[in-house]
């Protein structure tokens, strides 16, 4: 077994753009990339055969010049917000479904629908209607992003009726500030 100095020599000898992939268990792999500013890392969770290598989750340091990582959820299955009728960049990567009394009735991640124990399908129309296995689950009212600096991918909040106005875009800081003003 080699030591840290041996590994550092291997990494330093890599050409810019060269990549080493270290496989892990359960579909995880670490990708080490030599860039013109140094070594960058991606941790990727991939669903292999028979699904064609869809990426569920990527933790990447490549996107930040200071080396801090960012989480990219449902990188293969995420639905672009613009395809859901919103003029917002980003992707909807999961759903929280509310009933008419605003009680949570369902929560979904796209990979769980597509690759779970009972595989199915989902779609979001340009009107913002979510269907799961051909059954309407409601209309997009809010997209929520937990942390724009560390997480990529909105969770959609769906209600039984179409929204009367534009879909709201919220981030964690919005909820924290709103809760502080009510206290």
Dist CA 147 CA 183 (whole Å)? 23
DSSP characters over 70-118: EEEESTTTPEEGGGGT---SSEEEEEEEE-TTS-EEEEEEHHHHHHSSS
pLDDT for the residue 173: 73
Closest by CA position to 96, among listed 88, 104, 87:
104
Average pLDDT, the chain: 85
Instruction: Considering only residues 105 and 57, tell me which one the structure prediction assigns the higher pLDDT.
Output: 105
Instruction: Considering only residues 9 and 154, tell me which one the structure prediction assigns the higher pLDDT.
Output: 154
pLDDT digits (tens, 9 = 90+) for 94-129: 999 999 999 999 999 998 898 888 889 999 999 999
Half-sphere exposure of 101 (CA within 13 A, CB side): 2
pLDDT digits (tens, 9 = 90+) for 126-170: 999 999 999 999 999 999 988 887 888 999 999 999 999 999 988
pLDDT for the residue 48: 62
pLDDT for the residue 29: 83
pLDDT category, 183, cuts 50, 70, 90? low
Instruction: Considering only residues 118 and 47, tell me which one the structure prediction assigns the higher pLDDT.
Output: 118
Half-sphere exposure of 178 (CA within 13 A, CB side): 6
pLDDT for the residue 179: 66
The whole model's pTM is what? 0.77
Instruction: Considering only residues 56 and 166, tell me which one the structure prediction assigns the higher pLDDT.
Output: 166
pLDDT category, 9, cuts 50, 70, 90? confident
Instruction: Considering only residues 136 and 14, tell me which one the structure prediction assigns the higher pLDDT.
Output: 136
pLDDT for the residue 128: 95
pLDDT over threshold 70, residue 19: yes
Closest by CA position to 171, among listed 133, 130, 143:
143
């Amino acid at each position: 077994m080699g030591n840290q100095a041996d590994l550092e020599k291997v990494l330093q000898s890599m050409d810019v753009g060269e990549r080493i992939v270290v496989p892990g268990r359960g579909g995880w792999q670490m990708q080490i990339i030599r860039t013109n500013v140094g070594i960058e890392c991606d941790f990727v969770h991939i669903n292999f055969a028979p699904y064609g290598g869809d990426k569920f989750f990527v933790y990447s340091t490549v996107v930040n010049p200071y080396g801090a990582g960012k989480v990219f959820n449902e990188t293969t299955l995420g639905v672009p917000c613009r395809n859901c009728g919103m003029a917002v960049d980003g992707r909807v990567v999961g759903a929280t479904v509310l009933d008419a009394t605003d009680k949570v009735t369902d929560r979904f991640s796209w990979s769980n629908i597509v690759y779970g124990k009972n595989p199915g399908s989902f779609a979001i129309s340009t009107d913002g209607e979510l269907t799961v296995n051909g059954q309407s689950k409601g209309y997009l009212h809010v997209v929520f992003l937990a942390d724009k600096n560390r997480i990529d991918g909105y969770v959609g909040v769906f209600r039984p009726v179409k929204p009367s106005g534009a879909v709201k875009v919220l981030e964690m800081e919005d909820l924290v500030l709103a809760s502080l003003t009510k206290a």
